[in-house]
Structure 1
Amino acid sequence: MSSSVIDFIATEARFGARNYEPIGVVLSRGEGVWVWDTEGNRYLDCLSAYSAVSQGHCHPKILAAMVEQAHRLTLTSRAFHNDQLALFYEEIAALTGSHKVLPMNSGAEAVESAIKSVRKWGYEVKGVPDGQAEIIVCANNFHGRTLGIVGFSTDPETRGHFGPFAPGFRIIPFGDAAALEEAITPNTVAFLVEPIQGEAGVIIPPAGYFTKVRELCTANNVMLVLDEIQTGLGRTGKLLAEQHEGIEADVTLLGKALSGGFYPVSAVLSNNDVLGTLRPGQHGSTFGGNPLACAVARAALRVLVEEGMIENAALQGARFLEGLKDIRANTIREVRGRGLMLAIELHPEAGRARRYCDALQGKGILAKDTHEQTIRIAPPLVITSDQVDWALERLATTLTQDFS
């Protein structure tokens, strides 16, 4: 590391809260699947800002839309209409088949908005007694880091010393439809779940799970809320991950790739009357639905579809997964994934996944560990076959490396 890199990292450590443990690289530029550090070294980005940069770094068409809108109008608040919001509503509804849209900023805000909305629906439409609404969630979930959300996390690192927490959540195992059926009561208003658990290590439920979940939610008048903030918008090789089982959520949450990494944009999409319960003054956001965000999101959605990124994610994801399965390394316990949402889980005796991520940095790949033993692989959806093969060569070398 040069002295300038050390200075950047030391300054962060001196002034910043220590709530992250970044890989030891200081990035300064990005284009497509590549990023460059302050010393000019190039890396293949296999994290995509946790899937927020699905369209590739600094996509020129999204950049152009952002710059053009920034010259015209950036923020009005929702006290006034703007000429981008209605178009954003119309286009995202047409793409996803949604009836109502609630624009927010971060993914966590979308989750909080959904929780408020389904509770309100439960009291005003379903007839749940006031203050008794229950939402079912899954163990090892990750839906954000607000106080409301971490209250129903099962990760001790996320929850520890942040309580007391709000009641109203029941936790069941992920991928267990029988557990869901048993947990539902007359006061259950929603089941909030990730189609694939990302932060937990790209955990994919058994085939048929979401078909059964959909049946149970419909039969019991429970809103199925799918958190597609990581899995949505092409990441798994479909527009939405729900499409792998041909189901439709009552409420869908989008974020991250909704702006292609240019701006915080999220949305709650509803295919029923859940969002219809909200009245003026009951929920809102100064920045939610601002014209700059809407213009960026419209461009991000447009390039995703027009440039075939969803289809490419399916094609290259299959190639990447097969290549990972072909790596013969004693360190690997399991390889799993769908589309370009992949994970390599290591045997405990292989040591922490972090040291493999550090080694990959030295070979020109940036990846991130999760839950000690898992390396996540999630490059931008614009990755090519040659780039996949290039990455696989370096992953194979690293995973067979002797660290003793």
Structure 2
Amino acid sequence: MSADASRLPLWRAALVIARRDFGAILFSKAFLFFLLGPVFFAAISFAAGALGAKAVESAAPPKLAVMLDDAGSSAFVAAHERLKDSISLPGIERVPATGGNAPAALLGDGSRNFGAVLTGTLERPELTGTPERIESWRGEVALLSAQAGSGGAAAMPEVALKPTRSSVANTRSSQTATATGAITLLFLLTMLLAGMVLSNLVEEKANKIIEILAAAIPMDAVFYGKLFAMLAVSFVGIAVWGSIGAVIFALGKSAFGPLPEPAVGWPLFTALFVIYFAMAYLLIGSVFLTIGSMAPTVRDVQTLSMPATILQLAVFFLATYSMSDPGSGPEIFAVLFPVSSPYAMVARAAQSPVLWTHVLALAWQILWVAIFVKTGATLFRRKVMKSGKAGGKRAKRRGLVRR
């Protein structure tokens, strides 16, 4: 029986390598510290952000601009003075009802910090401002209007709300925010986790283990096995960090507010995000594995880490720039360019409900993973292992010279 015939099939051999690497990494002490690092960093960042937001909120709370007629404004201000020590009320400022003080102009005046503008009459008050702000102040305005109108004897009036933004603009803005957040999260996870692939083969090359593996199984299987092992380790890390994040979000849900809805809906968007993370990791990981396999020492791998980071930043900036104009030339290029394709398609999932493009994009990305792995394995076999056609020719030449 020949050596090739006794070898394991490609995918069975890749599974053996994946199991071996996955167990070795998962149960190591280094992986535990790797898991704890981002948790500590996120905790510090969250605490700093909360303290900063609290400081900004306490330093400059928004005010309610009262723009009624003279008698109505005076009564409203008097009612506010009577009740402000008993219940929590927004700060108010009386504004003359003149032509230059339109609600839109007051809300756009950055020097006055108005959150909403009260117009109309005490019997029919109208509140103009952002949807969140006027909804939160609706009850207070109704109470003060009732107190100002008849000393609290009459029922509170119905407050007419006038949102300053259209629903279409809100939808587009929220979808863009979701796309930006998804691209940023995908970039951070990929940058944090894909760097481990760079040094994956260095130790085995130094210990001559890779030569034993190359003699037993195809080199393509070694690359596939190591890639999928690192991907599985990445999913373990994401599961740990995601569980901690879910607990934090559940405890402070009221502080975070509602999440902007993506175009395809949250369940499908979450599934697509996980799939595109896997494809982004396999694409960039196959490139990194090839580059790292050519490095003779760990020091050389450290030198290569900076160009690898620049490559990931370039992909992130390309996807972020193209996201703002779907269907444009840069956006189509970002979709077709293999390494940036997962980022661009995540943004599309947040901004467009069309699904058939994702099927084509995933097929395109899988094709390029196979191309990158095949190219990397061939280069490693010929340049490092000195086997294959080029290596065989060099070996023959060396044999002739010796003779």
Range of TM-score over shorter length:
under 0.3
Greater strand fraction, Structure 1 or Structure 2 = 1
Higher RCO (CA < 8 A, seq sep 6+): 1
Tell me the TM-score normalized by structure 2: 0.21
Larger Rg belongs to: 2
Greater helix fraction, Structure 1 or Structure 2 = 2
